[in-house]
Amino acid sequence: MAEILKGVRVLDLSQVMAGPFGTMVLGDLGAEIIKVENADGGDLCRNNRQYLHKGESAYFISLNRNKKSLTLNLRSQKARQAFFDLVKISDVVYDNFRPGTMEKLGVGYDVLKQINPRIICCSVSGFGANSPFKDRPALDLLIQAMGGVMSFTGEEKGRPPVRVGYPMGDLAAALYATISVLGALYHRTVTGEGQQCDIAMLDAQLSLMTYRAQYYFLAGVIPEPIGSAHATSIPIRAFKTADGGYVTVEASHEKFFRNLCGVIEMPELAQDQRFSSLAARAKNKEALFAILEERFLARTRDDWIERLVAGDVPAGPVNNLEEALSNPSILARDMVAEVDHLGERIKIVGNPIKMSGLGQQTFSAPPTLGEHNMEILGGYLNYSAEQIREVLESP
């Protein structure tokens, strides 16, 4: 196991995507993650019936490695007391309920900090604890839509809005939640104080706007869909090739544009007054794109990639997922890993964080529901067999 967060214990009450992805990152860094689930089915995505592997959801497998599962009904007094006992010996409590749910369960920050003043509570929700929308349900599609990114994702010319191909609303919030926990842990080493972290999916999505938001603040520019192109840097785009594949090119810098013109055997384009500067190319982008579109249809995708890379042009293929997972760079950096799970070795996506303290990482498989009940209640809390039975069976 990793050593970076060794000794940090996280009580993870989250489920589905926005919470579990964040706690998985903490687990990859060496934190001990205790996944607190209800006994009646557990995490909602355990029951996702698509892409099952030996009866277990691939969705769940992808988000819950390096965790232990404990089943507690927090509406039960005895189970809630067991949770309080765990809070005494833990560092972080992490949830992704709607604001107010933890308080209704009797396990909100104001209660937990009385039990353990050093506890860090991190809550991920759609809109945040003080938002006028705090009671609304929030799923990734809604966040991408309300956060603005769907309004300029996809192709131009009046096509319908398109969501980003994976759940950026969920994933961005999970990563910001992880950052907030790491910051709170550092703050605690300095001051001894715990923290309450309040992460909203909509806030996280909007923060990713960066320069698009700044263009609006400074110039009132409201972005529109432009496909794979860039709003101001030309040429950046995907181009179709002779075999139906696509290559992406980022050649807005003058050096790279000259290199591109050489690779496509049209060096004169770099001297053409219509294209001889970034400002000129932005003004005449349709004419430039028409030339490049025709030229790229002359060779296959892989042929172009070989030539562009050799010519020092930033370029890459538009890979499908199979191609992406077999990319030599991905394999060299251990981004396809394996775990022992349900009696066989299965592949999983690896940890993108590379640090000297992590070394060659191995991962434990996602836990079965309640797999670690005895270890945690009996081992960590020294509960007797009778106490364990009462905690697990009390209504």
Peptide bond into 235 cis (omega under 30): yes
> CA angle, 66 as apex, 73 and 23 as ends, to 5°?
65
Q: How far is 240 from 158, CA to CA, in rounded Å?
A: 21
Hey, what are 349's tokens?
A: 């996506």
Q: How far is 286 from 243, CA to CA, in rounded Å?
A: 23
Q: Are 363 and 65 in contact (CB under 8 A)?
A: yes
3-state DSSP assignment of residue 357 = coil
3-state DSSP assignment of residue 92 = strand
Beta-bridge mates of residue 32: 9
Sheet of 246-250: strand order equals 236-240, 246-250, 315-317
Q: How far is 239 from 252, CA to CA, in rounded Å?
A: 15
* CA dihedral sign of residues 58, 64, 66, 69: negative
40 is annotated as an active-site residue: no
Closest by alpha carbon to 366, among 86, 50, 42?
Answer: 42
Catalytic one of 28, 170, 198, 203:
170
Hey, what are 160's tokens?
A: 């319908």
Q: Are 118 and 177 in contact (CB under 8 A)?
A: no
Closest by alpha carbon to 252, among 271, 274, 279, 292?
Answer: 279
* Residues labelled catalytic: 170
